[in-house]
Amino acid sequence: MRESLAPEVDVLFGSEKDLSLLSFVNFIPRGEAVGQDKVEWVEDQLPPEKFDFARGGVGTDWDSVNATTALPVVTAQITKLKVGDVLQLPASSGAETVVVSAIDVSGQTIAVSKRAWGGSTATAQGASGTALIIGNAQIDGSDPISEAYYAPTERYNYVQIFEDALAVSGKILRSTGLTLVGERARQRGLKLKRLLSQLNYAYLNGLREKTANCATFAGLRSTATSTYNVNGALTVAKAYAMITQMISAGAFPRGIHGSPVGISRLEQLFTTYKVEGPSMANANLTVTKLNILGITIELHMDKHMLDTEFLVLDYSRLSQHVQETDSENPGGFSAYVVTNNAKQYKEELAGYFTLKQVQVGASVVRAYGCTS
């Protein structure tokens, strides 16, 4: 027989203040139940909006303000471009605009229609640089351009089992006057708090691995590909940098997670930009928010975070899932009676969880190296 512990978990979250410091369990949205031990999905990828060019290799024509052919591109970046792409080149004063007229994939070069398109200023480029793809311009009535297919990325994670057990001795009950119901409730609360804390830690530091039939899921730190090195004391400029890095990746920063020390650093930097209000992910909790850059970003303290790190999260690309085991009790923590006799009552507590993270480069930015 199985008993869902969801009501007791809800009571713990509503009454135990220390559980509010488990920010990942509290604020990462809940997704649909999953039915397999290995959870797979295909994530979308945004087409590139910039590419790297280089002076050298097959030619040095980027250092000329007149050259329109044999303009070299960094190897493997050529596939980002299409004929007709409008490019904005970097420049110390103003930016030059050009339009791609031909692409030589094997030679890793491009040709442009003209230099200084639209009245921009032709500028000799340095040894290398990053150009922006700001549009595509085609000849009216021309044939369609060659198609560009961006293959989606396949990702997966495993379902991890979190388990504990409680045991109530019949001899202890009779000698102390305790009731089974009261002692079981007390121990359930303690065990569930420990399991929820472990789950929160796994969402942060978990590693994906499976050996035989034992599996663990990957957490946010192990999958983060977008990082920012604070490299010293946190400043307003550095705080803005780690937030805008997520925006540049095409995401929307919805929450910053840090240790109590880390969150206090942010609050001291943005004293006049703080407001209080209900969380967008958990309306039962009132959280501190920063109104900066024209957006509202929640601040969440987490007791498992390092004082030297922050995580900037886009919750629309993250979700926590339970494994569905039957229609009446879809996953989450449940209690199973193992032993029930005159000498002992024993109960197993178990939950099946996994973490889904799409568009890894945009879902989380890990800022590290903060010293004060």
Max avg pLDDT among 70-74, 141-145, 257-261:
257-261
Question: Does the residue 141 lie in any domain?
Answer: no
Determine what percent of the chain is predicted with pLDDT higher than 90.
Answer: 53
Q: Are residues 57 and 29 in the same domain?
A: no
Last residue of a domain, one of 101, 136, 171: 136
Question: Does the residue 148 lie in any domain?
Answer: no
Residue 315 has pLDDT above 80, yes or no: yes
Q: How far apart are the first and last CA of the chain?
A: 52
Separation CA 184–CA 182 (nearest Å): 5
Q: What is the DSSP letter of 53?
A: E
pLDDT at site 284: 74
pLDDT at site 59: 47
Q: Are residues 35 and 59 in the same domain?
A: no
Q: What average pLDDT does the chain have?
A: 88
Question: Does the residue 286 lie in any domain?
Answer: yes
pLDDT at site 49: 83
- What average pLDDT does this structure show over 131-143? 89
Residue 213: how many other CB atoms lie within 10 Å = 7
pLDDT at site 58: 45
- What average pLDDT does this structure show over 184-211? 95
pLDDT-derived band at 329, boundaries 50, 70, 90: low
Q: Give residues with Cβ within 8 angstroms of 297, minimum separation 6.
A: 243, 253, 254, 255, 256, 289, 290
Q: Are residues 284 and 333 in the same domain?
A: yes
pLDDT at site 63: 80
pLDDT-derived band at 331, boundaries 50, 70, 90: low
- What average pLDDT does this structure show over 343-370? 92
Backbone CA torsion sign across 28, 32, 35, 36: negative
Radius of gyration of the CA atoms of the chain, in A: 27
- 3-class state of residue 189 by DSSP: helix
- What average pLDDT does this structure show over 173-202? 90
Last residue of a domain, one of 70, 104, 136: 136
pLDDT at site 210: 96
> What total number of domains does the chain contain?
2
- What average pLDDT does this structure show over 56-74? 76
Task: Write out the residue range of the structural domain in which residue 132 sits.
Answer: 50-136
Residue 215 has pLDDT above 80, yes or no: yes
pLDDT at site 250: 83
Residue 72 has pLDDT above 50, yes or no: yes
Q: Are residues 274 and 289 in the same domain?
A: yes
Q: Are residues 262 and 346 in the same domain?
A: yes
Question: Does the residue 151 lie in any domain?
Answer: no
- What average pLDDT does this structure show over 226-251? 93
